[in-house]
Amino acid sequence: MLRKRLEREGYRSVPASAEMDYLSTNPPLPAECYRRNAARARQLASEATTAAVKAHLREVALQYERLAERADNGTVPASP
């Protein structure tokens, strides 16, 4: 509804995918935060009783470690 009104008033329509682009301009979290999340995921994996859950949590921990490395190097994670 707001979009239609803005278009009538002469504002350019923005694709839905572009509306959330501003989120990618936020600075990345510090590497230490990513490492804490990785440690927590590893802890949860060690406590999990299901093999699939353990594997998933280990993968989550690896992803956090990759993010920490990128934060250390000053690179921004690629969007999915």
- The series of mean pLDDT values per 10 residues for the chain, 80 residues long, is 60 52 60 95 96 96 95 69
CA–CA separation, 60 vs 39, rounded Å? 10
Domain that holds residue 36: 21-73
- Alpha helix positions (H), the chain: 2-8, 16-19, 31-47, 51-73
Is residue 7 situated within a structural domain?
A: no
Would you give the DSSP letter of residue 61?
H
Is residue 11 situated within a structural domain?
A: no
User: What total number of domains does the chain contain?
Assistant: 1
- Residue 74 is predicted with a pLDDT of 81
- Residue 79 is predicted with a pLDDT of 56
